[in-house]
Structure 1
Amino acid sequence: MTDAPPPTSAGPGSPLPARALDTTAERPWPVRLLSAKIADYIDKMSPVWIEGQVVQLNRRPGAGMAFLTLRDTDADVSLPVAMYAKVLAGQTTPLAEGAHVVVHAKPTFWKGRGSFQMQADEVRALGLGDLLARIEHLKSILAAEGLFAAERKRPLPFLPRVVGLVCGRESKAEHDVVVNARARWPEVRFEIREVAVQGTAAVPQVSAAIAELDAREDVEVIVVARGGGAVEDLLPFSNETLVRAAAACRTPLVSAIGHETDSPLLDLVADFRASTPTDAAKRIVPDVAEERLRLRQARERMQRAVRGRLDREQHGLDAIRSRPVLAEPGSMIERRSDDVEQLARHGRSAFSAALLRAGAEVDRLRAQVRALSPASVLERGYAVVQVADGSVLRDAAQVASGDALRVRLTDGEVAATVD
């Protein structure tokens, strides 16, 4: 039941405005009227199931009531919830601060003190199995969006100048990361953001710290570290808001949340997952002693390689210089000079022999030609008779009486006439 409506006038002959829009400084609503209107409006609202985390729980056995504050797991928003003690007593698992619950409640407004709260008639604690099932469902959604894809992973810088660190306040995780990293590389600098790493404040504070460090130009890698804990303590690092904030980070992100067996969703979206905060320290900076050792070993290998190459080239030069042709360069010229002289002698001998053979052949041919020459026949007293046309007379029938003849002798010729 609602209280009787308040009077609608501030005094005789002065009716109150029917709507809030019509109120003025001269014609205001009294507090009781506004409070009644708010109560009427809220009373029309239907009951609703809401989910959140219990951050405060007060039991008042004498009044038969219990009061709790229900806070959103993703944002800094909370609602007061009241319930009868018997509703709280009906829980199979005792309700405690930090529990995740769903509450069936109806909004109520107390006119006397102008306060708003939710009146609950049923409370259900979300068990670990329910929470893990929700995480698995969220995991499948984020995986389908490609937030866990390997091609999104960015390589960590080899030697970051500044490392952003998100961790708990005065936590061992902070000590493990900072001490081990500086032991490996003393010059590394840290931008540390100490935030809540469990509870309802963890999601907004960690998300804000990641965004703040990501906006800095000098921060080259960000580490989100927490030293393990119960599954319930690590739930904020599987929260969708925080995981999406990490996915939107442009700076390479290292997740060092739990131990080897822990696997919050932040591990999957991060560019690198470290098994522990100490492992994260080893991953983000190199070991200066190890790097110096490698440089020294590399320098020694290069020196050995250069010395070996110089020794091989020197041995080659020594082998070449030890050859007789380089030890006594004139000996090669002398041997070649002797060869040239010998070849010249052979050439002259061969040429002389060829000339002798050619002269003998010429003499032989000359004797043959002379033996076959008509001149030789003429020298023995023979003559050659030619008729007027110059042909040789071989038959007497070729001429007639009175024909002129020409008689050639060894020395000269005579003219004759046929009788």
Structure 2
Amino acid sequence: MTDAETTPRSTAEEPWPVRVVSQKISAWIGRLGWVWVDGQVAQISRRPGATTVFLTLRDPSADLSLTVTTNRDVLDSGAPELTDGARVVLRAKPEFYPARGTLSLRADEIRQVGLGELLARLEKLKRLLAAEGLFERSRKRRPPFLPQRIGLVTGRASAAERDVLTNARRRWPAVDFRVVNVAVQGPGAVPQMLDALAVLDADPSIDVIVIARGGGGVEDLLPFSDEALCRAVFGCRTPVVSAIGHETDTPLLDYVADVRASTPTDAAKRLVPDLAEERRLIALARHRLDRAVLGMLDREAHRLEMVRSRPVLARPQVLLDGRAGEVDALRDRATRCLTHRLAAGTAELGHTLARLRALSPAATLDRGYAIVQDSAGRVVRAPDDVAAGDPLRLRLAGGDLAAVAADGDLAAVAAEQS
């Protein structure tokens, strides 16, 4: 057993020496065994006459590298034309050197990744990202019509930077840019673009971010198909425009970005409107609006003229005269009807009064008749209705008489003028 395996657990009172820690790390790494590693060659070191070749293997999506040692024969048999920047797959065993405290990989097989295999990997990654919803059109955001400030991620003094800035300012001179220059190919491209994207996305003054690069081969555009970059663009709160290469170039970034521009020049046209064109459209709209208003005024004026020319408004008294004649005729008709009704009512009332007078007891009294009533006011119709000595009342046309009933005849004892 080694000292690292027999050493008890460390405590503040009994800490491990550095050599023990280094030995334990070496033991842990040794248990990892042989692994297959994918990476990008950052540097190849071949010493004349030496059988060992040193490679610096870099992760394209992170600022991380490892030293790989291999035999020259292994390299020549698997990747004889290997150059800096190439993608490789190698079988290696991690080794930790306790004395120096360094980690490296010892490779016994190296394969250079060809273009066909790269394209196959990109197609597999494309299907994976599509399945996770990174390409969904529903989540894509529309950039503002006129952004106040635009973030630009591109290579320093590149044609893409010049195309975007020149064409955007030609269309809208007041446009403001914040340019972050990064490496757009090579081992450091992806980490630098990730940092630039994070800086611009955190800037509240940035309304839209553009990632631009000129044309190139498939290998040159590989950083723009990197999984880490695609996921970073998907997570941005700011809309992102992809302007990579020529129109036929379609890295995975084009599918994830909110807007895909075929070229950097096309991105400039999509970012800001054309001031001259907008002025022309505004002038055209104003002209159409003027024509519409003037046309409406002309139609309304013509309509008013037609209304004014109608007889009812040209000679309104004609209508009033006709209505006045109708009112007079109706009034005469009402007068005649009322007069006729009054005359008929008067005649009918006269006839009724005559009949009433003919049937009235007073008319009978006027002819000399009298009405005899007893003390209770009942009309005496026969002599047997009263007894001798009963007081009676005689109603005559000229008044009433008081009388007393006697045997045989009625003897009047007094006369009273009613």
Q: Which range, TM-score by smaller chain?
A: 0.7 to 0.9
- Residue pair 1:383, 1:407 contacting (<8 A) in 2 also: no
Letter of the 1:309 partner, please give it: M
Distance (Å, rounded) in 2 between the aligned partners of 1:20 and 1:412: 163
- Residue pair 2:370, 2:397 contacting (<8 A) in 1 also: no
Aligned position for 2:341: 354
Letter of the 1:383 partner, please give it: Y
User: Displacement of 1:218 after TM fit?
Assistant: 3.1
Of 220, 236, 239 in structure 1, the residue corresponding to residue 207 of structure 2 is 220
Letter of the 1:97 partner, please give it: D
Aligned position for 1:55: 42
Letter of the 1:73 partner, please give it: P
- Residue pair 2:42, 2:55 contacting (<8 A) in 1 also: yes
Change in CA separation of 1:76 and 1:397 when aligned onto 2, cut-off 3 Å: closer
Distance (Å, rounded) in 2 between the aligned partners of 1:108 and 1:403: 167
- Residue pair 2:374, 2:380 contacting (<8 A) in 1 also: no
SS at structure 2 position matched to 1:289:
helix
SS at structure 1 position matched to 2:60:
coil
CA RMSD of aligned residues (A): 4.1
Aligned position for 1:304: 291
Equivalent residue runs for 1:95-106 within 5 Å = 95-105=82-92
Change in CA separation of 1:184 and 1:385 when aligned onto 2, cut-off 3 Å: closer
SS at structure 1 position matched to 2:253:
helix
Of 118, 134, 154 in structure 2, the residue corresponding to residue 167 of structure 1 is 154
Distance (Å, rounded) in 2 between the aligned partners of 1:117 and 1:403: 166
SS at structure 2 position matched to 1:219:
coil
Distance (Å, rounded) in 1 between the aligned partners of 2:171 and 2:59: 41
User: Displacement of 1:244 after TM fit?
Assistant: 3.3
Change in CA separation of 1:216 and 1:404 when aligned onto 2, cut-off 3 Å: closer
Aligned position for 2:272: 285
- Tell me whether 1:192 sits opposite 2:176 in the alignment: no
SS at structure 2 position matched to 1:232:
coil
User: Displacement of 1:177 after TM fit?
Assistant: 2.6
User: Displacement of 1:401 after TM fit?
Assistant: 7.0
User: Displacement of 1:154 after TM fit?
Assistant: 2.9
- Tell me whether 1:179 sits opposite 2:160 in the alignment: no
Aligned position for 1:267: 254
Change in CA separation of 1:218 and 1:394 when aligned onto 2, cut-off 3 Å: closer
User: Displacement of 1:161 after TM fit?
Assistant: 2.6
User: Displacement of 1:160 after TM fit?
Assistant: 1.3
- Tell me whether 1:314 sits opposite 2:319 in the alignment: no
Once the two structures are superposed, what CA deviation does each residue of 1:33-54 show, in whole Å capped at 9, x if it has no partner?
xxxx99xx79x96766543212
Aligned position for 1:12: none
- Residue pair 1:255, 1:270 contacting (<8 A) in 2 also: yes
So what's the TM-score if we normalise by structure 1?
A: 0.73
Letter of the 1:388 partner, please give it: D
- Residue pair 1:385, 1:405 contacting (<8 A) in 2 also: no
Once the two structures are superposed, what CA deviation does each residue of 1:320-357 show, in whole Å capped at 9, x if it has no partner?
44455544566666655555555444444333333222
Aligned position for 1:369: 356
Letter of the 1:156 partner, please give it: P
- Tell me whether 1:86 sits opposite 2:37 in the alignment: no
Of 370, 374, 378 in structure 2, the residue corresponding to residue 384 of structure 1 is 370
Distance (Å, rounded) in 2 between the aligned partners of 1:250 and 1:392: 122
Of 110, 132, 135 in structure 2, the residue corresponding to residue 123 of structure 1 is 110
Distance (Å, rounded) in 2 between the aligned partners of 1:108 and 1:412: 162
- Residue pair 1:384, 1:392 contacting (<8 A) in 2 also: no
Change in CA separation of 1:370 and 1:141 when aligned onto 2, cut-off 3 Å: same
User: Displacement of 1:203 after TM fit?
Assistant: 0.8
Aligned position for 2:231: 244
Distance (Å, rounded) in 2 between the aligned partners of 1:388 and 1:241: 139
Change in CA separation of 1:377 and 1:176 when aligned onto 2, cut-off 3 Å: same
Change in CA separation of 1:408 and 1:241 when aligned onto 2, cut-off 3 Å: closer
User: Displacement of 1:101 after TM fit?
Assistant: 1.0
Distance (Å, rounded) in 1 between the aligned partners of 2:209 and 2:102: 44
* Structure 1 stretches lacking a partner, 5+ long: 1-18, 23-36
Change in CA separation of 1:388 and 1:189 when aligned onto 2, cut-off 3 Å: closer
Give % identity: 53
Once the two structures are superposed, what CA deviation does each residue of 1:204-236 show, in whole Å capped at 9, x if it has no partner?
222222223334343321111123433322221
Change in CA separation of 1:395 and 1:270 when aligned onto 2, cut-off 3 Å: same
